[in-house]
């Protein structure tokens, strides 16, 4: 079963075959018939740059808008910047306000103004209201397609009003109840409208216990509220309580996906959201990250350089020293990742950071003892040098303790300074564990061998 999905997969296969054989008319037919906009967007994102351009050319004008909003910002910006202002006006005429706002935010201001001035005044003022909030706030995420009702009318009147309009915006699970000043006072769930006595007034049936989103709220905070209260949509209000629009779960899902993605990508120094970006673009971004890491690698080398005479006397130190640094790096990264994720989920606060730090030091100490013993044993077998064995054991315990401390404290300190822990944490952490690892191991060796 699941004919729809099987059909889509089959279409994707035949499309790939058609692309490879150069049957462009067939590709055009598949792209514009039957594949959902999000499926076409996924196909474009999964293609190298040249194929992308071919696919885009083959898409009918009237489908472009829907597909653009499903593409990642980077790719949609590329296509948008190739368009004339007239094409943009056509493109945006069928889209939701929040989606038009997302697209406009990727364009130069001159073009944005041109698109805005082409709209009728109602659409323009709606769009300007969305554009006046940051893209990553509730205001930037909201849509203005609310269906509002007054509290003092009966459900019967509401139903007749809806029947006259013949369609409701997608993801409408609630009608929004406002007073004569457009201030939000409650929601009328569609499902209640269906099952309630039609002679009741909206006020009698409406819910006032609902989640109201202030327009300034950060989008990640919005996502948490949607997750905790299992919402499909929620009203957005300004500082005075005036209803501005609503946020729907489909846009929140994108926020959740992007937020989770962000930590993973940042920890590897990747800010690219595009798997198939051209080599030059990718290479330039990666080069910067490699440069930053080179700096930290030279710091570690300088520490080793301090002890070159000790290493000359006992070359086994050079053989074993990467083990001390590496164990510290691994142990520290585990703590760092755990804390960064705890921060993202909102688990970590002033109340429990003390407990967490305490646990990590305990874990670091006992794992330090365990693996110090194993490493000391192997060192004895390999080099038959008792002094070397206890020196590396001591260095391991020291480095694992420092790794636990840094892994737990760094994200807290960085966040406090307004620096993204996922981006900067790993580099700083491995610099610390490298320096401490090499310094403690080679330093102890210098004390006892020279």
Nearest CB to its own copies, comparing residues 16 and 201? 16
191 scored as a contact of its own copies (CB under 8 A):
yes
- In the shown chain, the binding pattern of residues 268 to 287 toward its own copies, with x for contact by CB under 8 A and - for none, equals xxx-x--xx-xx--xx--xx
C-alpha to C-alpha distance for 188 and 225, rounded to whole angstroms:
19
Nearest CB to its own copies, comparing residues 144 and 437? 437
Residues 6+ apart with CB under 8 A from 20: none
435 scored as a contact of its own copies (CB under 8 A):
no
Number of residues that bind its own copies (CB under 8 A): 134
Query: Interaction with its own copies in 151-180: which residues (CB under 8 A)?
Result: 159, 162-163, 165-168, 170-173
210 scored as a contact of its own copies (CB under 8 A):
yes
Instruction: Tell me the two tokens of residue 301.
Output: 């080398």
Neighbours of 295 (CB within 10 A): 11
Nearest CB to its own copies, comparing residues 103 and 340? 340
CB of 394 to its own copies, least distance (A): 17
Q: Which of 83, 119, 157, 212 binds its own copies (CB under 8 A)?
A: 212
213 scored as a contact of its own copies (CB under 8 A):
yes
Q: Which of 124, 179, 218, 241 binds its own copies (CB under 8 A)?
A: 241
Q: Which of 21, 93, 125, 352 binds its own copies (CB under 8 A)?
A: 352
Q: What one-character-per-residue DSSP string does 115-144 give?
A: HHHTS-HHHHHHHHHHHTS-TTBHHHH-B-
Nearest CB to its own copies, comparing residues 88 and 158? 158
Nearest CB to its own copies, comparing residues 316 and 419? 316
CB of 178 to its own copies, least distance (A): 13
- Work out whether strand 148-149 and strand 174-178 pair parallel, antiparallel, or are unpaired: parallel
Q: Which of 97, 129, 333, 446 binds its own copies (CB under 8 A)?
A: 333
Nearest CB to its own copies, comparing residues 122 and 279? 279
> Which residues sit opposite 207 in a β-bridge?
187
Q: Do 146 and 176 meet the contact criterion of CB atoms below 8 Å apart?
A: yes
CB of 62 to its own copies, least distance (A): 18
Query: Interaction with its own copies in 41-60: which residues (CB under 8 A)?
Result: 42, 45-48
CB of 344 to its own copies, least distance (A): 9
Closest CA to 158 of 144, 172, 171: 172
- Work out whether strand 243-248 and strand 233-237 pair parallel, antiparallel, or are unpaired: antiparallel
3-class secondary-structure state, position 78:
helix
Neighbours of 334 (CB within 10 A): 17
Q: In what order do the strands lie in the sheet with 243-248?
A: 213-214, 233-237, 243-248
CB of 392 to its own copies, least distance (A): 11
**224 secondary structure, DSSP code:** H
Closest CA to 356 of 340, 367, 368: 340
89 scored as a contact of its own copies (CB under 8 A):
no
Instruction: Tell me the two tokens of residue 115.
Output: 């698109």
Query: Interaction with its own copies in 366-395: which residues (CB under 8 A)?
Result: 366-367, 370-371, 374-375, 378
Q: Do 132 and 139 meet the contact criterion of CB atoms below 8 Å apart?
A: yes
Q: Which of 119, 338, 373, 405 binds its own copies (CB under 8 A)?
A: 338
Nearest CB to its own copies, comparing residues 382 and 386? 382
CB of 219 to its own copies, least distance (A): 14
C-alpha to C-alpha distance for 86 and 115, rounded to whole angstroms:
8
3-class secondary-structure state, position 24:
helix
Nearest CB to its own copies, comparing residues 25 and 167? 167
Binding region for its own copies (CB under 8 A) out of 108-116, 124-132, 245-253, 413-421: 245-253
Nearest CB to its own copies, comparing residues 111 and 210? 210
Count CA atoms closer than 13 A to 171's CA, side-chain side: 18
> Which residues sit opposite 253 in a β-bridge?
none
Neighbours of 445 (CB within 10 A): 24
- Work out whether strand 213-214 and strand 148-149 pair parallel, antiparallel, or are unpaired: unpaired
Query: Interaction with its own copies in 409-428: which residues (CB under 8 A)?
Result: none
Nearest CB to its own copies, comparing residues 113 and 347? 347
């Amino acid at each position: 079963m699941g004919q729809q999905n099987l059909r889509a997969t089959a279409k994707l296969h035949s499309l790939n075959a058609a692309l490879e054989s150069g049957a462009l008319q067939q590709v055009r037919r598949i792209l514009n018939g039957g594949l959902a906009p999000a499926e076409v967007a996924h196909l474009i994102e999964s293609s190298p740059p040249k194929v992308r351009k071919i696919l885009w050319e083959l898409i009918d004008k009237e489908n472009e808008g829907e597909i653009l909003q499903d593409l990642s910002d980077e790719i949609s910006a590329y296509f948008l910047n190739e368009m004339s202002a007239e094409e943009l006006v056509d493109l945006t005429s069928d889209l939701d306000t929040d989606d038009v706002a997302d697209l406009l935010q990727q364009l130069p201001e001159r073009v944005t103004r041109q698109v805005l001035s082409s709209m009728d005044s109602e659409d323009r003022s709606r769009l300007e209201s969305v554009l006046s909030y940051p893209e990553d706030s509730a205001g930037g995420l909201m849509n203005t397609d609310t269906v509002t009702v007054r509290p003092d009318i009966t459900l019967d009147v509401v139903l007749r009003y809806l029947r006259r309009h013949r369609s409701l915006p997608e993801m409408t699970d609630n009608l929004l109840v406002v007073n004569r000043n457009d201030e939000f006072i409650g929601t009328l769930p569609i499902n209640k409208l269906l099952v309630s006595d039609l002679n009741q007034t909206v006020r009698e049936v409406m819910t006032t216990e609902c989640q109201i989103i202030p327009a300034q709220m950060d989008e990640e905070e919005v996502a948490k509220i949607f997750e905790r209260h299992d919402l499909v949509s929620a009203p957005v209000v300004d500082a005075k309580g005036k209803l501005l629009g609503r946020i729907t779960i489909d846009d929140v899902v994108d926020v959740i996906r992007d937020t989770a993605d962000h930590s993973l990508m940042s920890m590897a120094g990747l800010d690219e959201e595009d798997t198939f970006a051209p080599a030059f673009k990718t290479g330039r971004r990666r080069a910067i990250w490699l440069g930053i890491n080179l700096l930290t690698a030279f710091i570690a080398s300088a520490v080793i350089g301090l002890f070159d005479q000790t290493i000359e006397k006992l070359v086994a130190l050079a053989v074993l020293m990467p083990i001390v640094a590496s164990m510290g790096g691994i142990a520290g990264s585990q703590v760092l990742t755990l804390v960064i994720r705890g921060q993202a989920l909102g688990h970590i606060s002033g109340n429990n950071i003390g407990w967490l730090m305490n646990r990590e030091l305990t874990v670091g100490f006992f794992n330090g003892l365990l693996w110090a013993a194993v490493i000391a044993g192997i060192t004895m077998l390999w080099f038959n040098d008792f002094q070397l064995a206890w020196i590396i054991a001591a260095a391991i315990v020291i480095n694992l303790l420092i790794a636990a401390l840094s892994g737990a404290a760094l994200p807290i300190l960085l966040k406090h300074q307004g620096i993204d822990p996922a981006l900067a944490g790993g580099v700083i952490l491995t610099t610390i564990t490298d320096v401490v690892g090499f310094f403690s191991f080679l330093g102890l060796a210098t004390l006892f061998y020279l």
